[in-house]
Structure 1
Amino acid sequence: MALAAARLRAAGLRVTVQRMAVLAAVSEAAGHLDADALRERARRVTGGLSLQATYNVLRALTEAGLVRCTHIPGQPARYEIEHHDNHHHFVCLHCAAIRDVECTVGAAPCLEPRLPAEYDVQEAAVTFWGVCPDCRAGAG
């Protein structure tokens, strides 16, 4: 929790038990968890935390650049620690597992769109869709 408190202070956020608990839950998560799963983990520390409070904390953490929110069509928003690496995602069409994929080409924003020079592209979000190895093994 001390690390979470230090990260909150460094980002200029007020340190609260709820923010520390949610940030620690995101940090300790293996994968991309939705708000409800993060709330359940954070409640182990806070004792009580509403889903709305969890969303409020996640919004503040995302706006502060500590957490990255990923929107996959047909799924709830997923959260992970922000590493500022502009990585992409692979989503399994069978089990909906999400896996990080390194930048597809070069440095951020990884892709070069054909836009007029006045546009300042800062990030590219690419989602690859397919079948993960576990689901492929189960189908064979």
Structure 2
Amino acid sequence: MPSTMDYADRLRLADLRVTRPRIAVLQAVHAHPHADTEMVIDAVRAVLPTVSQQTVYGTLHTVTAHSLVRRIQPAGLVARYESRVGDNHHHVVCRSCSAIADVDCTTGNAPCLNLAHDNGFLVDEAEVIFWGLCPNCSASQPRT
């Protein structure tokens, strides 16, 4: 996991002011891949007990807008945040427990899919979510 100095450097490179809440949010997202907002708030408050919920929400918005973290929101689930950015990877989600795991590009380089027709769009990203059962949930399913 990157150090506090690495997080400060990342913030500076994104032309963002370095603050303790921003560093704590980046640390939380790196430490807890696919964390929802409440998980990030809890992790940040473990380091900065008096930080407000609104500060964490605002910081997540800012660091996402500057591509320091990535926000994903599979259908029917709350938004999740991850530190793996810039590689256009995909996700697999468990239908039973909502566990999320990363899946590398399925075909070629980003955006990892080939369109039959792009309708004039300059496509730079594809968001693919695979659904199924994670190993724990599939092991608990009765065999027929």
User: TM (normalized to structure 2)?
Assistant: 0.90
Determine if contact 1:65/1:82 at 8 Å carries over to the other structure: no
1:22 to 4, 25, 43: 25
Tell me the C-alpha RMSD between the 2 structures: 1.3
- Unaligned segments of structure 2, at least 5 residues: none
Q: 1: distance between equivalents of 2:47 and 2:139? A: 38
Q: 1:127 aligns with which of 126, 129, 137?
A: 129
Instruction: Compute the displacement of 1:116 (Å).
Output: 4.4
**Equivalent residues, number:** 139
Q: Secondary structure at the match of 1:53?
A: helix
Distance across 2 between alignment mates of 1:17 and 1:116: 43
Pairing of 1:35-54 with structure 2 (within 5 A): 35-54=37-56
Write the distance in 2 (CA, Å) between the matches of 1:60 and 1:83: 15
1:73 aligns with 2:75: yes
Return the offset for 1:27: 1.4
AA of the residue aligned to 1:108? A
Q: Which residue of 1 aligns with 2:59?
A: 57
Displacement of 1:24 in angstroms is 0.9
Residues 62-93 of structure 1 deviation map (CA, whole Å, 9 limit, x = unaligned)? 11111000011111100001331100000001
Give the equivalent residue in structure 2 for 1:107.
Answer: 109
For normalisation by structure 1, the TM-score amounts to 0.93
Deviations 1:12-71 (A, max 9, x none): 110111101101111122x30011100110112222222222111011101111100001
Of the structure 1 ranges 41-50 and 62-71, higher mean CA displacement relative to structure 2 is found in 41-50
User: Which letter maps to 1:14?
Assistant: R
Question: Is residue 89–residue 100 contact of structure 1 (8 Å, CA) maintained in 2?
Answer: yes
Measured after TM superposition, the shift of residue 117 of structure 1 is 5.8
